[in-house]
Each structure stands twice: as structure tokens, then as C-alpha cells.
Structure 1
Amino acid sequence: MDDKDIPLANDKVQYKTLLREEGCAILQTTVQTGGETQWHQHTNVSDRFLVVRGVLTVELNIDGHVQSTKVRDFYSVDPGTVHHVKNEANEEVVYITVQAGGIPDIVLAGLPR
């Protein structure tokens, strides 16, 4: 999959694949101020976020309730957890995502941003 074909990419969210092997993907993501991904989940892999620059907002949708966390360092999202990320700060956010434990996938949840 080409980086521009990642369904979560948009004008304010850019992905760069650093490594993709069987059962593992490592991505660098840049989120501009006001940028956010669609709500989604992963079937078999967890998302492990390592924030390199800025503050990333990670939101989880658990049983219809949204839990929001400001991340400055490390955060992990379990497989099957509906989530999205956004940048509410005045500077861009850069983070590394490691997905491991199965075939990386993106299942859009169809929730409004």
C-alpha cells in the first residue's frame, strides 16, 4: 500500500512508511494543527504511538463513550478498540506508530469526526 493510499491520510495527516514486513508496520505520521484521522480500529494489531514532537490527542470510543488523552510520550491502543487521533495544539505533531502482532489493517468505524 502506498502511503498516499492509507485511508486515514488527508490534507493535514501525512504518513511515511518506515518499515513494512509480515506482521509488522512502522509509520511516521505528521499531523498539522487541526488535523485528525477518521474513527477506525485494527483487527489483530495494537497501535503503539511514540510522540516525537508536539502533543497528540488520542480518543477512544468505548461503548459509545469517548475517552480523550493528551499524549506527549507513549500510548498504546489495543486491537478492536475504536479510536482516532487529532492535533489540537498550535504546532504540528510528529509520531511513530508501531503495529505488530498480526496483519496490519484499518477498519473504518463510520463515526463522525
Structure 2
Amino acid sequence: MDDKDILDIPLANGKVQYKTLLREEGCTILQTTVQAGGETQWHHHTNVSDRFLVVRGVLTVELNIDGHVQSTKVRDFYSVDPGTVHHVKNESNDEVVYIMVQAGGEPDIVLAGLSR
């Protein structure tokens, strides 16, 4: 999957910007900036885990496990396993910046079709 593939998937609203820092076989590192009100769609990854390192602000990570939503406020580090339906959002009035590392296999994005 290349950067164009990511942009072709309606993963996030216009308040989320991605910057690729590194892309190698089995590993992608992105810097993500989320403005107030920014969020991604509910999705999961088949092979890769998402690891979030928040460098500015507070990121809300929500997981949908067996139909139950678990919400976590992340100020430092958080990891989402492959196959776990999740999305992220900025519920604050300040910009959130985090580094995302995807590793473990071929990256993909599978939209979950859940409503928020």
C-alpha cells in the first residue's frame, strides 16, 4: 500500500493530516496531526498493529470489542492489536500530534462500517 492508497480510503475527516516519516517492508511510521474535532472512521488492520506515541495533546482512542466501546485518553503510548476495530479522535480544543508505528506485516485499512 502506498501513500496514494491511504489517501483514496475515506479514513479520516479533513481535520486529520498524515505525514510519512518512514516506509519500509513491514514497517510504516507516520506523524499525524489531529485538529479539534478531527477523527478517523472505525476500522481495523488485518496484519499490523498500531502503536501511538502522543507528543502533544490528548488523543482519544476508542476500541469496539464485541459491540462494546472502550474509550481511553492517551497522553503517552498506546497499542492496538491487529483485527481490533478502533478509531481515534481529538475531543479537546487543542491540536494533537502523535507518531504512529505500524508493524507486523502488510499494512491495510479495513473500514468497519460502524456509526458513531
Count of matched residue positions in the alignment of Structure 1 and Structure 2: 113
- Do the aligned partners of 1:19 and 1:27 also contact (CA within 8 Å) in 2? yes
State the partner residue of 2:75.
72
Q: Show CA shifts across 1:15-69 (max 9, x none).
A: 1111111111000101110111000000001000000100000000000000000
Unaligned runs of 5+ in 2: none
Report the identity percentage.
92
- Do the aligned partners of 2:12 and 2:38 also contact (CA within 8 Å) in 1? no
Q: Offset of 1:88 from its aligned partner?
A: 0.4
Structure 1 runs (4+) greater than 4 angstroms displaced: 1-4
Unaligned runs of 5+ in 1: none
State the partner residue of 1:109.
112
- Do the aligned partners of 2:26 and 2:103 also contact (CA within 8 Å) in 1? yes
Note closer, same or farther for the CA distance 1:47–1:21 as it changes in structure 2 (3 Å cut): same
**Secondary structure at the residue paired with 1:18?**
strand
TM-score by length of structure 1 reads 0.94
Q: Offset of 1:8 from its aligned partner?
A: 1.8
Rounded to whole Å, the distance in 2 between the matches of 1:105 and 1:68 is: 23
State the partner residue of 1:46.
49
State the partner residue of 1:23.
26
Alignment RMSD (CA, Å): 1.4
